[in-house]
Chains A and B, each alone.
Chain A
Amino acid sequence: MSEIKNVYASQISVGDELPVFVLDLTPRVIVSCAIASQDFQDVHHDKAAAEEKGTPDIFMNILSTNGFVGRYLTDWAGPGSRIKNIKFNLGAPNFPGDTMTMTGTVQEINDDNGEHLATVEFKGKNGMGNHVSGSAILQLAKEGE
C-alpha cells in the first residue's frame, strides 16, 4: 500500500483524472463491509434470503458504497483534505464475482474565502452499468500547513 499523499490546488487542473480504482467484489468484501457498517439486512450476507427476494445473490449495501466513494476521494486528495459534500445516484447493484471500476475527474477548482475547494465527478461501474455516479466537494490541504 503506497502512502496517501496530499494533493494541492496548485498541482491540479480542471479535467484532471483521478487514478482508476478497481474493487473486486468478493463475498468477503460485501459481507465484511455490511457488518462494519452495522447493516444486518439479510440481503447483504445471506444468499438464500437474497434469492428469496428476487435477486441472484447478496449485494453491497449503500453505506459501503458511501464508504468506498469516501475512500476513493481521500485516497486521491490525501489525509489533509476534507470531504464537504457527496451526492450520488445509485444504479446497478454490486454482486459478488463482479468488479467495480471507479473513475473520477476534477470538474472545478474554487477559492472559497481562502479554502481551496475541488469538485470531483466520480462513477463506479460494474458489469451491468453504473453502480454509483455523482460528485463531491473536497476541501484540499494547503501547502505548508
Chain B
Amino acid sequence: MSELSAAELLEKVKPLLNRRVGPYKSFNPVSRTQVWQWCTAMGDNNPLYQQDDKVIAPPTMMQMWTMRDAQGNYPEGSSTDNPYEILSIMEEHGYAGVMAVSYDQTFHRYLEEGDQVHHYSTIVNITDEKSTAVGKGFFVTEIAHFLDQNEECFAEATITYFQYQAPKRPAAPKSSSGPMKINRVAPIENYDNEHYWEGLRQGKLLIQRCTSCGTLRHPPQPMCECCQSTEWDTIESTGKGTVYTFTVMHYPEIPPFDYPNAIVLVDLEEGVRLVSQLENCKPEDIEIGMAVEMEIKEVQEGMSLPIFKPAQ
C-alpha cells in the first residue's frame, strides 16, 4: 500500500475529474432474444416488451447493452480508456472496496429491436474522505449518457460509488446456516423481570401487583414505590388502553423493524403505562387518547411482545 494521505490521493485523482470517456459500444443490436432472456429471468410479463411484431426493451436494461462480454472485453471500436481510472488509482492506494450506493436514471425513449447502443462516462465528483459503517473512503459520482445509433441520448444515469478501505476483519463464515438475518435485541432477563417475559411467551401480559398495598407497577421492579414492600404477585392485563403519547420513527431505517415505525406509550386500563409498537395504523391516523388493544406476537424465536393496534 502506498503512503499517500487521503488529501494527497485526492489531489492525484482530481485532474481526472470531468473527463468524458467513451464510447463504450454494444456487441449486438437490441434483440428479441436478449429482451426475452431479461424478462424471463426477472419474471417480467409486461406485454409491451415482447409483442408479435415489435420488441421494446425494458428501460431498466439501459446499462446492460454496453456491458463487457464474459471474457471482460468491450467490443471493437470502443474506447480503450478505463472509465473508472479514478477508482482504479484509489484501489492501488489501499481503497480496494467498491460499492454502488445510489442510482438516478432518466429514460427519454424506449429502445426497440435493431437499435444500437453506446455510452459515455464522466466522473464528475469525488468527496473528501468519509467514515462509514463499511470503512473510510470516498464517494465518487459518475454521469453516464446512453446513446443510440443516431447519437441521440435515450437514457442517462447518475451513479454514486463508495470506494473504501475495508477494515481488517475475519473472512465471512463459510457455509453459513441460511441467510444472514438481523434480529431484535433480546431483553436481559433476570430475577426481577423474568416473570414478565415468560408471561408473554405464554401469551399473557402480566402486571406486577404489590401484595401489601395492592399498587400495580410497570416496568417490573423489585420493590413497591408506595410501601417499599418486596412482596408481589401479578395480574393479567386485558391489553386494552389508550395512547398516552407516541412518536413515529422514519429515519434511519434500522432492521429488522418496518418503517415508518410507530412507538406508543399506552395507558393500560388497569392503570399502568407500557411502551410498545402500534401496527395496522397509518402514522397520520394516530391520535393521543385513541383506544388501542394488544395482541401478543412472537416477533422472533423465543421473544414475544405485546403489539398494539387500533381497538376494533
Contacts and interface: CB of A to CB of B under 8 A. Distances in A.
A12 interface: no
B70 A40 contact: yes
B182 A127 contact: yes
Interface string B128-148: 000000000000000000000
A57 to B, nearest CB: 7
B172 A55 contact: yes
A128 B45 contact: no
B46 A56 contact: no
B99 interface: yes
B70 A128 contact: no
Nearest to B44: A71
A89 B107 contact: no
A37 B64 CA distance: 5
Question: B interface, how many residues as a size bin?
Answer: 35 or more
Contact of A66 (B60, B179, B254): B60
B100 interface: yes
Interface string B120-133: 00000000000000
A70 B64 contact: no
A90 B179 contact: no
Interface string B46-67: 1110000000001111111101
Contact of A85 (B102, B106, B258): B106
A68 B46 CA distance: 12
A90 B101 contact: yes
Given A66-B60, A67-B44, A68-B42, A129 B182 contact: yes
Interface of B: 34, 37-38, 40-48, 58-65, 67-70, 72, 99-107, 110, 166, 169, 171-174, 176, 178-182, 253-256, 258, 282
Given A71-B58, A129-B256, 19 more contacts: A35-B41, A36-B38, A37-B64, A40-B68, A51-B174, A54-B171, A57-B179, A66-B103, A67-B44, A67-B58, A70-B60, A75-B46, A79-B47, A79-B48, A84-B106, A85-B105, A97-B178, A128-B255, A134-B103
Instruction: List 7 tightest A-B contacts by C-beta distance, closest first.
Output: A129-B255, A70-B60, A38-B67, A36-B41, A127-B181, A98-B179, A87-B104
